[in-house]
Amino acid sequence: MKTRLLGGIAALVVAIIGTVMLVFYVQGADKRALANTETEDVYIVQKEIPAGTGVDKFGDSVVKKAIPRSAIAADSVKSLSDLGNKVSSIEFMPGEQVLASRMVDPGSQVGRGRVEVPTGLQEVTVKLDIERVVGGNLQAGDTVGVLLSFKPKDESLPYMTQLSLHKVLVTAVQDGSGSIADPANQTEQTTGGGALNANKNSSTQGTYLVTLARPASDVEKIVFAVEFGAVYLTKEPGDATQGNSGVMTLGKVFR
C-alpha cells in the first residue's frame, strides 16, 4: 500500500515538474526564435482601441514588444511620448502595430468646424432634434454612441431600442440651415458649452445636422434607422464604459 502511495506521489511530482518545464520552454520559444534575428521594441495593440482615443487613454491596450526589424512598419511607434496628445484616427485591432500615420491631432482640421475622415470610413449625416444630440453639447472630433429604435408596424411585435454603435467619430456639426458650428467662436455665455448650441437660436426648426464617420456596414444601419425608425446619440468619449443590455423592449425595462 505504501509502495503504491509513494509511486503515485512520485508520478505526481514528475508530472508537475514536467508541466513547469514545458511552461518555461514555451515562454522562451519567442526568445529562442529571435536569438539570431535583429529586433526592435515597438508598440503592439493587445486590446481594441476605438477611433478618437487619445494616447493618454491607451493604457494596457498596447504593449511594447520586440519584433524582427524586417517586420516593423516604417512609421511604427517606438515611444508614445513622441505622439504628444494625438488621438487614433482609425480603430486599432489586436495584433496591429501602433503607427504614427494613424494618429492625428485632436483638432486636426480639414475645414472650419470639421475633422479629418479616417482612411476606410464613410461619412453620413443625420438630422436630429437637439434632445437627441446631447442637448447640443457636441462638436467635431467628439465620439458618440448611436442608439437605434424601431416601432414595428406589426402590433404583435414589441418596440425595440439598442445602443448599437460605440465610439463613433463626429466629423462635423451644423445647425438646421447647414451652417457649420465653429467651436473657436464660442463663449460660455452664448453656447452653454456646446458647439451645436452656438447656433441654437439660428437653427431653422430646432434641428441639427451631425456627420458621422463609420464603416459601410454601419452606415447602412444608421440610414435604415433614420428612414424607418429613430436615432439617438450619446456623448461617448474614449474612456467611457462600452456595452449594452441587448435589445431593449418594454418587458425588459421593468425587470
What are the structural domains of the chain? 33-104 (3.90.1210.10), 122-253 (no CATH)
Residue 52 and residue 213 in contact, taking contact as beta carbons nearer than 8 Å: no
Residue 49 and residue 92 in contact, taking contact as beta carbons nearer than 8 Å: yes
Question: How far does Cα 112 stand from its chain's mean position?
Answer: 24
Report phi then psi at 189, rounded to 5.
-70, -35
What is the distance between the alpha carbons of residues 184 and 114, in angstroms, rounded to a whole number?
Answer: 12
pLDDT at 136: 82
What is the distance between the alpha carbons of residues 162 and 150, in angstroms, rounded to a whole number?
Answer: 9
Residue 213 and residue 120 in contact, taking contact as beta carbons nearer than 8 Å: no
pLDDT at 106: 65
What is the distance between the alpha carbons of residues 220 and 74, in angstroms, rounded to a whole number?
Answer: 35
pLDDT at 139: 85
Q: What is the pTM of this model?
A: 0.52
Question: What single letter denotes the amino acid at residue 163?
Answer: L
Contacts of 53 (CB under 8 A, 6+ apart): 87, 88, 167, 238
Per-residue pLDDT of the chain (255 residues; tens, 9 = 90+): 556 665 666 666 666 776 666 666 656 655 555 555 788 899 999 988 877 788 888 999 999 998 898 888 888 998 898 888 888 877 788 999 999 888 877 655 344 467 888 888 999 999 999 899 988 888 888 899 999 999 888 888 888 999 999 999 999 888 776 665 544 444 333 333 344 444 444 344 578 889 999 999 999 999 999 999 999 999 998 888 887 878 888 878 877
Q: Which residue matches cell numbers 456639426?
A: 173
Question: Which three cell numbers mark 27?
Answer: 515562454
Residue 142: C-alpha distances to residues 115, 124, 184, 213 (Å): 10, 15, 15, 11
What is the distance between the alpha carbons of residues 9 and 103, in angstroms, rounded to a whole number?
Answer: 57
| Residues in a beta bridge with 170 | 212
Contacts by 28-37, CB closer than 8 A, 24 or more apart: 34/66, 34/68, 37/68
Contacts of 93 (CB under 8 A, 6+ apart): 45, 48
Length of the chain (residues): 255
Among residues 48, 97, 96, the alpha carbon closest in space to that of 77 is found at 97
What is the distance between the alpha carbons of residues 54 and 86, in angstroms, rounded to a whole number?
Answer: 6
What burial letters (b/e) apply to 155-193, b meaning 16+ CB within 10 Å? eeeeeebbbbbbbbbbbbbbbbeebbbbbeebeeeebee
